[in-house]
Amino acid sequence: MYEKIIKADLGADVRIIDLRTDTLSRPTQEMKEAMYIADLGDDVYGEDPTVTELERRSAELLGKEDALFLVSGTMANLITIMVQCSHRGSEIISGDKGHTCCLEQGGPAQIAGVQSSPIKNEDDGTFSLDVLREAINVNPNVFEPKTSLIIVENTHNLCGGVVLPLDWLEKVGDIAAEHNIPVHMDGARLINAAVYLRVSPKRVARDVDTVFFSLSKGLGCPVGAVLAGSNDFITKARRVRKVLGGGWRQAGVLAAAGLVALDTMIDRTKIDHEHALKIAKAIHQMKSNIFKVDLAKVQTNIILMYIDRSKVDLKQLQRRLQTVLDGDSVRASVRCSSLKSNCVRFVLYYEITAEDVQLACDKIQLVIKEYDEIFSLKNVIPQFK
């Protein structure tokens, strides 16, 4: 996992800027106050008014008939798969870099008993429509699984937070409709996609049957995701949620933060996008042969900084970004994550201020300069301790 730095090792003048992920964000003061006074009931019995209101408003936001408050997006994906692939011998089609394929412990197979049929994700988060058509098992014979669900991800995490084109989503929906196959959108950061495209979340979700968005990522809530779809789908999803141990009781204490997020946090995600682009430009301006960023793909709140693996050890790079040496002119500890072996990831959220962003730019440029200077003299991997 991520290397830890003991706070005592950092001087009092050092600013810690944690860009590992946006789930690190803590609830706003307004959220905390709303949570404290929330009207509560037992949600398993459908008696928590705050949860009911969050579900109603979320369904309206996404243009669906009904919605269900859940602990996480991973649960939302798994429940959807279990509902839509309820007969044995089912398969799902998704991109090979999708969250359900790469980052959910093989949940479709492990828990749902569903086979995954991944197809190649392009760098923009899409996949070939022609390949999709070929992957669908039409009238499967006795040897083949039945294609029961297509999954898309928006924004696409492992592709760097890129936003799926609306016309592509429409075409996926059309192909799925031809074969009477539902489409599910892993929309953990769907709100970021909507803000980037300058359209409503409802428009982003128009061409899919089911969709969820995360409350605990760019929207700043402590916990939760909301899954939306038809009335019939949500009725079945509620039943599956219970068997997975996801039956909330007085869940309004968490749903209250979600209601505040819908009122106050959606439009401001544009600031996170601007901050991400500023950091990406700072990397690009270094014109390094070792570190690269694709500015065109920095569309929302995620930056992928690619590295030359022949010159850079990933964990040492992360360690150097976190460490503040005595002679460093920039007194900032920048933390980042790595979900792939050839890049590190920086993710912005509301608690990262403009001052933090400038310090992060300065620190990242300082480290890039160090590597570039070392490799202008000798071709070895530097050892930072």
CATH number of 233's domain:
3.40.640.10
Using pLDDT thresholds of 50, 70 and 90, give the confidence band for residue 376: confident
**Contact, 155 vs 273, CB < 8 A?**
no
**Cβ partners under 8 Å of residue 249, min gap 6:** 42, 43, 44
pLDDT tens figures, 27-60: 999 999 999 999 999 999 999 999 999 999 999 9
Chosen domain end from 221, 238, 264: 264
| Residue 12 burial (10 A CB sphere; 0-12, 13-18, 19+) | exposed
In a domain, 166, yes or no: yes
pLDDT tens figures, 97-128: 999 999 999 999 999 999 999 999 999 999 99
Q: Is the pLDDT of residue 380 over 90?
A: no
Instruction: Pick the closest to residue 28 from 369, 314, 268, 227 (CA basis).
Output: 268
In a domain, 223, yes or no: yes
Instruction: State whether 321 and 204 are in the same domain.
Output: no
Positive or negative, the CA dihedral 194, 198, 202, 207 is: negative
pLDDT tens figures, 277-306: 999 999 999 999 999 999 999 999 999 999
Instruction: Give the structural domain span for 174.
Output: 29-264
Instruction: State whether 230 and 364 are in the same domain.
Output: no
**pTM, full prediction:** 0.94
**HSE-up of 152 (CA within 13 Å, CB side)?**
33
pLDDT the model gives residue 9? 53
In a domain, 171, yes or no: yes
Structure-block tokens of residue 220:
């700043």
Q: For residues 139 and 162, which has the higher predicted lDDT (pLDDT)?
A: 162
**Contact, 147 vs 93, CB < 8 A?**
yes
Go through the chain and tell me how many residues it has: 385
Instruction: Supply the mean pLDDT for the chain.
Output: 94
In a domain, 384, yes or no: no
What distance in Å separates the CA atoms of residue 247 and residue 232, rounded to the nearest whole number?
18
User: How many structural domains is the chain composed of?
Assistant: 2
In a domain, 243, yes or no: yes
The gap from C-alpha 379 to its chain's centroid, in whole angstroms, comes to 36
pLDDT the model gives residue 220? 97
Using CA atoms in the order 354, 360, 366, 372, what is the torsion angle rounded to 10 degrees? -120
DSSP state of 8: G
Q: For residues 150 and 10, which has the higher predicted lDDT (pLDDT)?
A: 150
The average pLDDT across 309-330 equals: 95
pLDDT tens figures, 180-211: 999 999 999 999 999 999 999 999 999 999 99
pLDDT the model gives residue 375? 87
Checking DSSP bridges between strand 302-307 and strand 343-347, what pairing results, if any? antiparallel
The gap from C-alpha 137 to its chain's centroid, in whole angstroms, comes to 29
Count of H-run helices and E-run strands, the chain = 14, 13
Chosen domain end from 198, 229, 264: 264
**Cβ partners under 8 Å of residue 133, min gap 6:** 175
Instruction: State whether 12 and 97 are in the same domain.
Output: no
Chosen domain end from 264, 287, 320: 264
What distance in Å separates the CA atoms of residue 255 and residue 273, rounded to the nearest whole number?
26
Instruction: State whether 150 and 250 are in the same domain.
Output: yes
Measured between its terminal Cα atoms, the distance across the chain in Å is 18
Q: Is the pLDDT of residue 4 over 90?
A: no
Instruction: Pick the closest to residue 152 from 129, 130, 179, 180 (CA basis).
Output: 129
Instruction: State whether 231 and 188 are in the same domain.
Output: yes
Instruction: State whether 243 and 123 are in the same domain.
Output: yes
- Share in percent of the chain as helix, strand, coil (round to 5): 40, 15, 40
Instruction: State whether 311 and 335 are in the same domain.
Output: yes
Of all residues in the chain, the percent with pLDDT exceeding 70 is 95
What distance in Å separates the CA atoms of residue 219 and residue 262, rounded to the nearest whole number?
8
CATH number of the domain that residue 317 is part of: 3.90.1150.10
**Contact, 159 vs 123, CB < 8 A?**
yes
What distance in Å separates the CA atoms of residue 160 and residue 145, rounded to the nearest whole number?
32
**Could you tell me the maximum CA-CA distance found in the chain, to the nearest angstrom?**
69
